[in-house]
């Protein structure tokens, strides 16, 4: 079942404003539990974690920046 456009838009805003800062704080906390690795290893870990957080939400973010496709009375732009 696909989410309506308005629901996806609100959910993406919630994820970006609340979920992402919590994810960043959790990632920083977990990394701080270990002895600090070299800069290169630390950079790779943060890049991988930065990509991994978005994968489960790909369907939510897809098309959110576009106009509402279900809105009545909107002309399609070429």
Q: What is the pLDDT of residues 11-31, one digit of tens each?
A: 999 999 999 999 999 988 988
Q: What is the pLDDT of residues 27-77, one digit of tens each?
A: 889 888 888 888 898 889 889 998 998 898 888 888 777 777 777 766 555
Question: pTM higher than 0.85 for the full model?
Answer: no
Secondary structure letter of residue 34 according to DSSP: S
Q: How many domains does the chain have?
A: 1
Give a yes or no: residue 17 inside a domain.
yes
Could you tell me which residue, 3 or 40, shows the higher pLDDT? 40
- The arithmetic mean of pLDDT across residues 2-6, rounded, is 82
Helix H, strand E, coil C: the string for the chain is CCCCHHHHHHHHHHHHHHHHHHHHHHHHHHHHCCCCCCHHHHHHHHHHHHHHCCHHHHHHHCCCCCCCCCCCCCCCCC
Give a yes or no: residue 31 inside a domain.
yes
Helix (H, G, I), strand (E, B) or coil at 57: helix
Give a yes or no: residue 71 inside a domain.
no
Give residue 38's domain range.
5-59
What CA–CA distance (Å, rounded) separates 74 from 56? Answer: 31
């Amino acid at each position: 079942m696909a989410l309506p456009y308005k629901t996806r838009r609100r959910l993406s805003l919630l994820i970006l404003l609340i979920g992402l800062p919590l994810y960043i704080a959790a990632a920083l906390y977990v990394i701080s539990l270990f002895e600090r690795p070299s800069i290169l290893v630390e950079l790779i870990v943060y890049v991988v974690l930065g990509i991994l957080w978005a994968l489960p939400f790909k369907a939510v973010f897809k098309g959110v920046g576009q106009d509402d496709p279900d809105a009545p009375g909107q002309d399609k732009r070429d």
